[in-house]
Amino acid sequence: MKKYIWVLLVLSSITAAAQVSVHTEMRTATWNLIGLKYDKQVKPLVWQAVFPPALKAIHNKIIELPGYIIPTKVGNSFSEFMFSIVPIASCPYCGTGDIPSMIEVKTLKPINWTEEPITLRGKFIINDSGDSRSTFFLLDATKR
């Protein structure tokens, strides 16, 4: 019996050591507002983005967002990239996980890539034109 308990303890410790590290939670009131956007079907096979009033209220305003850089090009320093509430390892396009809220960022000067979360400040723009670009932009962004 002691042998079985010992094996169970060893297996439990191996399983605990194999757990993926959890990222720092970046959810803020502003990220929650961005998450309010949803799509509705307006006719068969045609969907349209819906931006609730609370989300529209921050359009064209200067905001701050914490998050993670998701590069869209090869390099170590970027002036254009995606910004996410979760790190690249949690992105379904780059690793594992669900589709996170993301914003396309254009900075005033390049920012070095890091796996650590950063905070950006810039002008929040909602792209409701229906084109294929990003839905949200953070323009003239600076690292805080």
Query: How far is the C-alpha of 14 from the C-alpha of 6, rounded, in Å?
Result: 13
Q: Spell out the domain ranges in the chain.
A: 25-143
- For residue 3, give the H/E element and its range: helix 2-17
What is the per-residue pLDDT across 121-132, written as a single tens digit (0 to 9) for each? Answer: 999 999 998 788
Burial class (CB in 10 A: 0-12, 13-18, 19+), 75: exposed
**pLDDT band, residue 142 (cuts 50/70/90):** very high
Q: pLDDT above 90 covers what percent of the chain?
A: 60
Provide CATH code, domain 25-143. Answer: 2.40.50
Q: Which is higher by pLDDT, 106 or 18?
A: 106
Report residue 24: phi and psi, to 5°.
Answer: -70, 130
3 state DSSP class of 137: strand
**Residues 91-110: tens digit of each pLDDT:** 555 545 455 678 999 999 99
pLDDT number for residue 133: 86
SS3 of 17-69? HCCCCCCCCCCCHHHHHHCCCEEEEEECCEEEEECCHHHHCCCCEEEEEEEEE
- pTM greater than 0.85 (yes/no): no
Per-residue pLDDT, averaged over 124-144, amounts to 93
pLDDT cut 70: percent of the chain above it: 74
